[in-house]
């Protein structure tokens, strides 16, 4: 049996890791966006705006709760969800300092994605990424 290594990181790094993991799904990002636009929504309110099953939205809300991104207030049988600003502030601070250290000038970047081609024919997907093979003949398909 193998041994799993567990590194101990500082508390802020652990929090940021949990937040990023929770935000690693497009539905959870959409839920956070909805809550950011208008706090105090029920699961039913969110289901009306995102075309997924109520159980699916509930599971996503639970993941956001585990990461302390949303807080829950119970009113009778209803659970009211809102954004928990404490961890959002930590994420904002981290991303702000991280992004300020990156100096990328997009206009000076030269990547295979910057190459534009008019794409026709079989295996044209190779050309869109600038993978041209001069020794292979590409047959043009006529539509």
**57 or 99: which carries more pLDDT confidence?**
57
User: Which pair of tokens denotes residue 13?
Assistant: 């790094």
Average pLDDT value for residue range 11-26:
90
- Interatomic CA distance for residues 44 and 29, integer angstroms: 17
Smallest CA-to-CA distance from 15 within 85, 68, 79 is with 68
Together in a domain, 85 and 116: no
Q: Does one domain contain both 86 and 31?
A: yes
pLDDT of residue 82: 94
pLDDT on residue 90:
87
Q: Structural domain of residue 132, as residue ranges?
A: 110-143
Report if residue 105 sits inside a domain. Answer: no
Percentage of the residues of the chain whose pLDDT score is greater than 90: 43
* 64 and 115 co-located in one domain: no
So what's the pLDDT on residue 95? 86
**What would the mean pLDDT of 36-51 be, rounded to a whole number?**
92
Give the CATH number of the domain where residue 76 resides: 1.10.10.10
Residues 117 and 95 in one domain: no
Residue 81 lies in a domain: yes
57 and 30 inside one domain: yes
**Number of domains the chain contains:** 2
Where does 9-126 show beta strands of DSSP type E? 41-42, 70-75, 78-83
Assess whether 47 and 115 both reside in one domain.
no
Q: What is the pLDDT of residues 99-142, one digit of tens each?
A: 777 765 555 555 544 445 454 555 555 444 444 445 555 554 44
């Amino acid at each position: 049996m193998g041994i799993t290594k567990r590194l101990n990181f500082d508390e802020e790094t652990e929090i940021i890791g949990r937040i990023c993991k929770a935000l690693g799904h497009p539905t959870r990002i959409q839920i956070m966006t909805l809550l950011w636009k208008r706090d105090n929504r029920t699961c039913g309110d969110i289901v009306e705006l995102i075309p997924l099953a109520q159980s699916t939205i509930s599971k996503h809300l639970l993941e956001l709760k585990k990461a302390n991104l949303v807080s829950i207030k119970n009113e009778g049988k209803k659970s009211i969800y809102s954004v928990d600003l404490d961890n959002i502030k930590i994420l904002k601070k981290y991303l702000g300092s991280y992004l300020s250290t990156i100096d990328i000038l997009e206009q000076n970047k030269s990547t295979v994605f910057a190459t534009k081609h008019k794409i026709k024919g079989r295996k044209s997907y190779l050309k869109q990424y600038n993978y041209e093979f001069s020794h292979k003949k590409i047959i043009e398909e006529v539509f």
